[in-house]
A and B are shown apart, each in its own frame.
Chain A
Amino acid sequence: MIPHYYQHFCPVKILSGHNALSNIPYEMDILGCRRAMVVTDKGVVDAGLINLVREAFAGSDKEIGCVFDEAPPDSSNRLVNKLARLFEKEMCDCFLAVGGGSALDTAKGANIVISEGTDDILSLQGNEIIKKDLLPMIAVPTTSGTGSEVTKVAVIYNEEKNVKMAFVSDRLYPRVAVLDSRMTMTVPPKLTAATGMDALTHAIEAYTCLQKNPIDDVFARAAIELIRKYLVRAVENGRDEEARLGMANASLLAGIAFSNSMVGMVHAMAHACGGVCHVPHGVANAILLPYGLEYNIPGIPCYIAELSGMLGGSIEYLEEKEQAMVTVSLVRNLLSRLNRISGLPVRLSEAGVPEDKLPAIASATINDGAMAFNPLEVSYDEALEVLRKAY
């Protein structure tokens, strides 16, 4: 069905390849930049990935002004202010974010502070509040899941209020996304599985939620098909270059899809699990995806049914709701397989969620912004019931 109205925007230049990093200095030249601030985390540095980035700069007239490797799992307002001051002190002119979602969000947060000329990032939370153009940012993801390299969202932790704040703006898109298969080679199997399921959840929710549109459907379909082909391969053999690049592309495609189409109740519950019990985002999405799909079947059986073909299910004549249940089974089969080969949890109880925290998670779920885009209404009691099923 063609939507009544929709928007699609993705201004990110994409470089994808087994040695794509080597083009970064050239891209900086195009952007009119000379001195990059690398924003990353200790894990990326310890894995030796920053050395690959340094090598890419060798022999060029561009330079790395500073490497900030303190990006935490949840970037805070205090940290982005600190990073912004360092950026100015080091006289850098662009950000080179290397890492998972948090490194990219940290760079986006500091970029907002610098470009808006404020030290109070809290005043800019909401959607489309940022009015000034941001400095160029080049994103190099080191996990295949968040899709942050092509999204217009940054999540920053508010230390005073103890809550996560979402910043949504078309200005938050990085200028360039660099997918290099070498950057994800060292990701362990369980994390590869969790981040891959995160990407699958992005694509599936983009395909089934209220802001679904024909352009993002194309991206979501392509992402799902790549995940079907490469996720298990990448988990089984992390050195499989083709599978790694395939998953990096899947994550990016799913990122483009959900940055425009947004996500729904699975993400709302996963955000809540992360906020209340610190369950890793990809793990929570993986566990909750089949339950969220099941909940939404009465509202959008046709869209969920269509997913079965992309996930490798046989296409035969079935009623829509039966076909939709096939989709749920296929997701469960994939989860079971990932559980066997990597130990990815398949229930909330296995992910360290205490049962008495489920009411708090349900409360946070219905207040999550993603819930606005879910096709069906979800009350507190219904969210709690879904969480109990997944427990």
Chain B
Amino acid sequence: MDDVLKRTVNQVRSLPGFPALQAGVKHVLCSTVLSVLGPAFEVVGRHVPEFRKEIESWEEGRRFSLGVLPNGPAITLEKRGSAIHYLGKGLKSPHITMSFKSYDSALLVLMSIMGSHQAFAENRILVKGDLAQTMEVNRVVNIVNAYLLPGMVVKKVLKRAPQMTLKSYINKGKVYAGLVPAVVRHLI
């Protein structure tokens, strides 16, 4: 049975156009997750005090982007006041660019199979810009992950899962409730 399955998979893989199709699927997956992640920064920022505390010291107008090399999807975000605003798809003159070297590396992180710290350690992410500011951005990404992902996944992708209090869980609920409208608003 295994042999039959392997043979079938190999035959599918050898079809002309399969690599292009595979790349297309990966592109769509990355693009979709980034479309959710962008608005998630806004929603988490609205409901989570530690997020606002983390960006308190950032200079006004700091822009950062997350994306996939060489020409994959990307999103750009900007600090305005006490919030992070999602500026939409594409690179919009960011000060810091964090780019995955390939779709496979991007999917590992975006699908929460691997934490961003491990992706850094495995040379999967290229950084352009000030490295100290990149560390600050990475901490904010971790907070977003902590409020966006289920507890078990958070334990796997973060070096240390944050201590969740009752108030944190309530905030997490507010994030979930606010996420879909935020994503839809940006899609329209």
* Interface residues in chain A, defined as those with a beta carbon under 8 Å from any beta carbon in chain B: 3-7, 125-129, 163, 165-166, 209-211, 262, 364, 366-369, 371-373, 375-377
Q: Counting CB contacts under 8 A, is B134 at the interface? A: yes
Q: How far is it, in angstroms, between the C-alpha of A367 and the C-alpha of B117 when the chains are bound?
A: 14
Interface residue from A125, A128, A165, A373 paired with B121 (Cβ < 8 Å): A373
Q: How far is it, in angstroms, between the C-alpha of A372 and the C-alpha of B97 when the chains are bound?
A: 16
Q: A125-B130, A377-B160 are in contact. Are A4 and B122 (CB under 8 A)?
A: yes
Between-chain CB contacts (< 8 Å), 10 pairs: A5-B122, A5-B124, A125-B128, A125-B129, A127-B126, A127-B127, A165-B131, A211-B122, A372-B120, A373-B117
Shortest beta-carbon distance from B157 to chain A in Å: 12
Q: Counting CB contacts under 8 A, is B188 at the interface? A: no
B residues near A377, Cβ cutoff 8 Å: 158-160
A residues near B134, Cβ cutoff 8 Å: 369
B residues near A210, Cβ cutoff 8 Å: 117-118, 121
Q: A7-B123, A210-B117, A262-B121 are in contact. Are A376 and B131 (CB under 8 A)?
A: no
Q: Counting CB contacts under 8 A, is B32 at the interface? A: no
Interface residue from B118, B130, B159 paired with A376 (Cβ < 8 Å): B159
Shortest beta-carbon distance from A212 to chain B in Å: 9
* Interface residues in chain B, defined as those with a beta carbon under 8 Å from any beta carbon in chain A: 97, 114, 117-118, 120-124, 126-136, 138-139, 158-160
B residues near A128, Cβ cutoff 8 Å: 126
Most chain B beta-carbon neighbours within 10 Å: one of A166, A211, A369, A375: A369
Shortest beta-carbon distance from A337 to chain B in Å: 34
| Contact yes or no, B129 A126, CB < 8 A | yes
| Contact yes or no, B131 A126, CB < 8 A | yes
| Contact yes or no, B122 A369, CB < 8 A | no
| Contact yes or no, B127 A366, CB < 8 A | no
Given contacts A166-B131, A210-B117, A371-B135, 6 further A-B contacts (CB under 8 A): A4-B114, A5-B124, A366-B139, A367-B136, A372-B138, A376-B159
Q: How far is it, in angstroms, between the C-alpha of A211 and the C-alpha of B121 when the chains are bound?
A: 5
B residues near A368, Cβ cutoff 8 Å: 131-132, 135
Q: How far is it, in angstroms, between the C-alpha of A106 and the C-alpha of B136 when the chains are bound?
A: 28
Q: How far is it, in angstroms, between the C-alpha of A342 and the C-alpha of B104 when the chains are bound?
A: 52
B residues near A3, Cβ cutoff 8 Å: 122
B residues near A125, Cβ cutoff 8 Å: 128-131
Q: How far is it, in angstroms, between the C-alpha of A254 and the C-alpha of B98 when the chains are bound?
A: 28
| Contact yes or no, B117 A376, CB < 8 A | no
A residues near B129, Cβ cutoff 8 Å: 125-126
Shortest beta-carbon distance from A368 to chain B in Å: 7
B residues near A5, Cβ cutoff 8 Å: 122, 124
| Contact yes or no, A366 B135, CB < 8 A | yes
Most chain A beta-carbon neighbours within 10 Å: one of B122, B132, B135, B159: B132
| Contact yes or no, B160 A367, CB < 8 A | no
B residues near A7, Cβ cutoff 8 Å: 122-123
Q: A165-B130, A377-B159 are in contact. Are A367 and B135 (CB under 8 A)?
A: yes
Interface residue from B123, B128, B130 paired with A129 (Cβ < 8 Å): B128
Q: How far is it, in angstroms, between the C-alpha of A128 and the C-alpha of B136 when the chains are bound?
A: 20
Q: A210-B118, A210-B121, A377-B160 are in contact. Are A126 and B135 (CB under 8 A)?
A: no
B residues near A375, Cβ cutoff 8 Å: 159
Q: How far is it, in angstroms, between the C-alpha of A319 and the C-alpha of B132 when the chains are bound?
A: 38
> What are the 3 closest A-B residue pairs judged by CB atoms, nearest first?
A210-B121, A377-B160, A377-B159
